[in-house]
């Protein structure tokens, strides 16, 4: 169940990246983060990747909170879902 929720949140983030008029650098950074999360879903037992992923999401939240508040909200939702998954 949390994995399905995470996939929905990733789709919301993808949609936000394409529709929000995000500058190319920010869009690339968000897309890289989406890819990183998808890799995590494909390899759920890689504990080292868990720590890096959480750090990367926190950094993205800090970076985007002023310019892209909706993307930041989605990233916060993703953090909650990952936490519910034990990550």
Does pTM top 0.85 for this prediction? no
Count of alpha carbons within 13 Å of 58, Cβ hemisphere only? Answer: 7
Residue 42 has pLDDT above 90, yes or no: no
Contacts 24+ apart (CB under 8 A), 11-17: 12/74, 12/77, 13/71, 13/74, 13/75, 13/78, 16/68, 16/70, 16/71, 16/74, 17/71
When the pLDDT of each residue in the chain is averaged and rounded to a whole number, the result is 86
With cut-offs at 50, 70 and 90, classify the pLDDT of residue 47.
Answer: low
């Amino acid at each position: 169940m949390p994995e399905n929720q995470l996939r929905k949140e990733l789709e919301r983030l993808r949609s936000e990246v394409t529709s929000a008029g995000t500058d190319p650098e920010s869009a690339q950074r968000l897309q890289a983060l989406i890819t990183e999360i998808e890799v995590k879903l494909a390899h759920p037992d890689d504990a080292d990747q868990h720590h890096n992923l959480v750090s990367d999401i926190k950094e993205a939240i800090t970076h985007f909170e002023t310019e892209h508040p909706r993307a930041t909200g989605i990233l916060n939702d993703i953090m909650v879902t990952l936490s519910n998954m034990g990550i």
